[in-house]
Amino acid sequence: MLRSTFQTLSKRTFSSTSINPYKVAVLGASGGIGQPLSLLLKLNHNVTDLRLYDLRNAKGVATDLSHIPTNSTVKGFAPDQQQPDALRDTIKDSDLILIPAGVPRKPGMTRDDLFNINAGIVHDLAQTIAKEAPNSSILVISNPVNSTVPIVAEVLKEHNVYNPKKLFGVTTLDLIRSSRFLSEILKTDPTKEHVNVIGGHSGITIIPILSQLENCSTLSQEQKNELIHRIQFGGDEVVKAKDGAGSATLSMAYAGATFADAVMRGLNDEKNVVMSSFVDSPLFKNEGIDFFASKVTLGPNGVEKIHEFGKLNQHENEMLETCKETLKKNIEKGYTFVKNKK
Ligand SMILES: NC(=O)C1=CN([C@@H]2O[C@H](COP(=O)(O)OP(=O)(O)OC[C@H]3O[C@@H](n4cnc5c(N)ncnc54)[C@H](O)[C@@H]3O)[C@@H](O)[C@H]2O)C=CC1
Ligand SMILES: O=C([O-])CC(=O)C(=O)O
């Protein structure tokens, strides 16, 4: 699944032939993620109209990217006197909206520590999306994803435009880290390693299911535990190394562009496009958990099918129980935030 996505993305990267014209908007486009993400989207030949929005420097980033000879137009939008309706103009008629707007972590912080600032940012962006672009596929990158996705859902519900098939929490970074970290241990080709990662996108809510992989049976329990921990806390590794200068940006841009490419291929009715994402899911709704990350098949209407995650071993079942407790609280925190805004 991931291999075909990697291959498709790299094969298509420098093609100048347009196959499917998609309008794509990036909100928070001048940031650490936003800039390289916009670059990768500029190189994707399915994107013909790229619109970049940020509180600062979006026009500069857009002008810079617009010189690259691929077939998309690029426009930058900033909420100033010249563009009072900048956000509306950015997202109008969009097929896809990617949201990396918000503050990143510093060492010692959890993703949940970002809630107070990012919840408001995502909430306000979602209000305009609900009014101006309710039919877009919305890809939420801003952390804490476990709470920001429910926030967007609640805002769309308030406007009676919620389409659960078109709202995605981007968890692709957990997948690409799993592929890379596992291949480092097994000394294999990372593009051929695919770990089923379920749950949410923060620490213990990230559950890599190693027991489903034949080649993991050669690993000792200690190696497996270390690998699980590294996948769960891969984000901390980057935050620590950047030492106050933010969190993952380049690998996240790659992950976001990979996921956006998959969503566009689904919209274009390509068959068997399967990616993991944090979506409105029936898997644990009866336990009050409305969102859960698992593999989904993407199609012309967004999520076509939510896959069961298969058999877990005892340790993974224990991880799932802990994950669910945290996830439930994270989701409710998002709901409460929107309720209190009314
Ligand atoms: N889902 C995932 O796997 C990952 C998520 N993230 C999250 O992505 C977010 C962005 O991270 P970075 O790009 O490193 O941060 P950054 O600070 O470099 O960039 C954020 C950008 O958002 C802009 N922004 C802030 N408020 C805005 C608003 N109301 N409208 C439009 N733009 C606005 C800022 O001006 C800035 O350019 C963070 O919340 C981070 O935690 C980061 C890595 C992985
Ligand atoms: O760790 C962070 O804060 C950013 C993130 O979500 C990741 O790298 O997975």
What ipTM goes with this model?
0.99
Asked if the structure places residue 341 within a domain, the reply is no
State the CATH number of the domain containing residue 302: 3.90.110.10
Q: Is residue 194 part of a domain?
A: yes
Is there a domain that residue 338 lies in?
Answer: no
CA of 210 to the centre of ligand 1 (A): 31
C-alpha span between 318 and 279 (Å, rounded): 22
Q: Which residues are annotated binding-site positions for substrate?
A: 105, 111, 143, 177
Based on the domain organization, do 205 and 326 belong to the same domain?
yes
Name the band, by pLDDT with cuts 50, 70 and 90, for residue 19: low
Least confident residue range of 51-60, 63-72, 73-82 = 73-82
Among 114, 149, 169, residue at a domain's last position: 169
Of 1-10, 97-106, 216-225, minimum mean pLDDT range: 1-10
Q: Where are the alpha helices (DSSP H) in 92-212?
A: 115-132, 145-158, 172-186
Q: Chain-wide mean pLDDT for the chain?
A: 94
Cα separation, 320 vs 47, in Å, equals 37
Q: Check if 143 has its Cβ closer than 6 Å to any atom of ligand 1.
A: yes
Mind giving me the DSSP string for 40-94?
A: HHHT-TTEEEEEEE-SSSHHHHHHHHHTS-SS-EEEEE-SSTT-TTHHHHHHTT-
Residue closest to 216 by CA, chosen among 178, 177, 186, 180: 186
Residues 18 and 71 in one domain: yes
Integer Cα distance of 333 and 123 in angstroms: 13
User: Span 20-26, mean pLDDT?
Assistant: 93
Output the DSSP codes for 259-291. HHHHHHHHHTT-TTEEEEEEEE-STTGGGT--E
Are 154 and 182 contained in the same domain? no
Give the residue-averaged pLDDT of 198-204. Answer: 97
Mean pLDDT computed over 280-293:
98
Q: How far apart are CA 232 and CA 215, in angstroms?
A: 20
Q: Are residues 269 and 303 in the same domain?
A: yes
Assess whether 127 and 201 both reside in one domain.
no
With 0-12 / 13-18 / 19 or more C-beta atoms within 10 angstroms meaning exposed / middle / buried, residue 288 is exposed
Query: What residues form the annotated binding site for NAD(+)?
Result: 28-34, 54, 118, 141-143, 252
Q: CB within 6 Å of ligand 2 — which residues?
A: 104-105, 111, 143, 173, 235, 238-239, 247-248
Q: Which of 148, 169, 190 is the last residue of a domain?
A: 169
- Confidence at residue 15, expressed as pLDDT on a 0 to 100 scale: 46
pLDDT at position 2 is 47
Ligand 2, atom 5: nearest CA belongs to which residue? 235
| Full domain range(s) for residue 186 | 172-332
Return the higher-pLDDT residue of 269 and 20.
269
The mean pLDDT value for 199-227 works out to 95
Domains: count for the chain: 2
Query: Is 58 inside a domain boundary?
Result: yes
> What mean pLDDT do residues 195-204 have?
97
Residue 67 has pLDDT above 80, yes or no: yes
In this prediction, what percent of the chain has a pLDDT beyond 90? 91
Name the most confidently modeled range: 5-14, 80-89, 94-103.
94-103
Index of the ligand 2 atom closest to the CA of residue 251: 8
Listed residues 169, 192, 217: the one ending a domain = 169
Beta bridge partners of 169: 140, 278
First to last CA, the chain: 42
Instruction: Report which DSSP code applies to 246.
Output: -
Residue 58: C-alpha distances to residues 26, 72, 79, 94 (Å): 10, 16, 10, 17
Which tens digit of pLDDT belongs to each residue from 137-156? 999 999 999 999 999 999 99
- Residues 208 and 233 grouped into a single domain: yes
Instruction: Judge if 324 and 222 occupy the same domain.
Output: yes
Where residue 167 falls (left for φ over 0; alpha for ψ -120 to 50; beta otherwise) is: beta
Residue range 236-263, pLDDT digits in tens: 999 999 999 999 999 999 999 999 999 9
Q: Are residues 135 and 68 in the same domain?
A: yes
In this prediction, residue 26 carries a pLDDT of 98
> What's the maximum distance between 2 C-alpha atoms anywhere in the chain?
62
Give percent of the chain with pLDDT exceeding 70: 94
The answer to whether residue 289 scores a pLDDT higher than 70 is: yes
Neighbours of 107 (CB within 10 A): 12
Q: Are residues 261 and 137 in the same domain?
A: no
* 339 domain-assigned: no
Query: pLDDT digit string (tens) for 123-137?
Result: 999 999 999 999 999
In this structure, are 6 and 137 located in the same domain? Answer: yes
The pLDDT of residue 81 is 80
User: Which residues lie below 8 Å from residue 213, measured CB to CB, with a gap of 6+?
Assistant: 182, 195
Tens digit of each residue's pLDDT (9 = 90 or more) over 91-101:
999 999 999 99
199 in contact with ligand 1, CB cutoff 6 A: no
Same domain? 148 vs 32: yes
Catalogue the active-site residues.
201
User: Same domain, yes or no, for 99 and 231?
Assistant: no
